[in-house]
Amino acid sequence: MRVSTDIKKMLALAQQLNVATFEVVSSFGNHHYFIGDKEVYNRLVKDHGHNASVTFFAYCMAEVESIEHWYEKNPHRKDWLMLTPDEAEDIATKAVKSRLWEGNPKFLLDFLGAYTTNADKAITRMQIAMGADCNDLIILLLGDKIDKFIDHVIDTEGRGPHLSKYDNKEHTHYILDSRIFLYKQA
């Protein structure tokens, strides 16, 4: 069974929004996902026996909304960032790296094993005076430890604060054989 990542993301969003979905496997072995309750299928099996899957599939195509159609017309889809584990890790890493200048100087200096009150004050003054322009200086300060520091930030804070613009949370959904992470944006 091969289900695309896009379909898995759609199913994760439906799950997040508490929208019931169900799967129908066609006679060709293709997997199709629909919005609604599969109870109708149970009634068709009872009424039509072995022909139920063909009858049900035809019913679904005519009467029930496909996951793709539901997703395209759903205004909430724009409120969520839906990512695979690799996508989430990559985007969170880039987000942290681009905003190192916003970080707590004590956290940075403790990581480097170089905390002093004067160093903390100096970095704080630099952050206030330069804003985002001091990001390159912090990257230089970290040197070859930058990747470990970024991993440390993500391990400490999680990806949610770096990927969710709304609630700073990461919502995990298990869809078939995959994990899909959702981050609320609005």
> 66 and 96 share a domain?
no
Of 62, 61, 42, 12, residue with least CA distance to 181: 12
What pLDDT is attached to residue 20? 87
The top-scoring range by mean pLDDT among 1-10, 21-30, 135-144 is: 135-144
> 62 and 16 share a domain?
yes
Q: Tokens in use for 37? A: 């309750």
The span from the CA of 32 to the CA of 22, in Å, is 8
In this predicted model, what pLDDT tens digit does every residue of 116-157 receive, in sequence order? Answer: 999 999 999 999 999 999 999 999 999 999 999 999 999 999
> 125 and 106 share a domain?
yes
Q: Tokens in use for 26? A: 């066609």
Among 34-43, 79-88, 171-180, where is mean pLDDT lowest? 34-43
- Burial group, residue 23, by CB count within 10 angstroms (0-12, 13-18, 19+): middle
Rounded to an integer, the average pLDDT of 51-78 is 76
What pLDDT is attached to residue 32? 80
The domain tally of the chain equals: 2
Q: Tokens in use for 110? A: 């403790």
> 106 and 147 share a domain?
yes
pTM for this predicted structure: 0.83
> 63 and 9 share a domain?
yes
> 30 and 93 share a domain?
no
Of 137, 8, 165, 159, residue with least CA distance to 82: 8
Domain limits for position 116:
86-162
- Asked if 56 and 34 touch (Cβ cutoff 8 Å), the reply is no
Angle value at C-alpha 90, between 88 and 91, nearest 5 degrees: 65
Among 32-36, 96-100, 106-110, 117-121, where is mean pLDDT lowest? 32-36
- Asked if 27 and 56 touch (Cβ cutoff 8 Å), the reply is no
Q: Is residue 33 scored above 70 in pLDDT?
A: yes
Q: Is 155 helix (H, G, I), strand (E, B) or coil?
A: helix
Q: How far is CA 31 from CA 25, 84, 111, 172, 181, in A?
A: 5, 20, 49, 23, 22
> 175 and 147 share a domain?
no
> 136 and 179 share a domain?
no
In this predicted model, what pLDDT tens digit does every residue of 39-50 receive, in sequence order? Answer: 766 666 677 665
In this predicted model, what pLDDT tens digit does every residue of 68-93 receive, in sequence order? Answer: 989 999 888 899 999 999 999 999 99
Q: Tokens in use for 182? A: 């959702």
> 129 and 156 share a domain?
yes
> 76 and 120 share a domain?
no
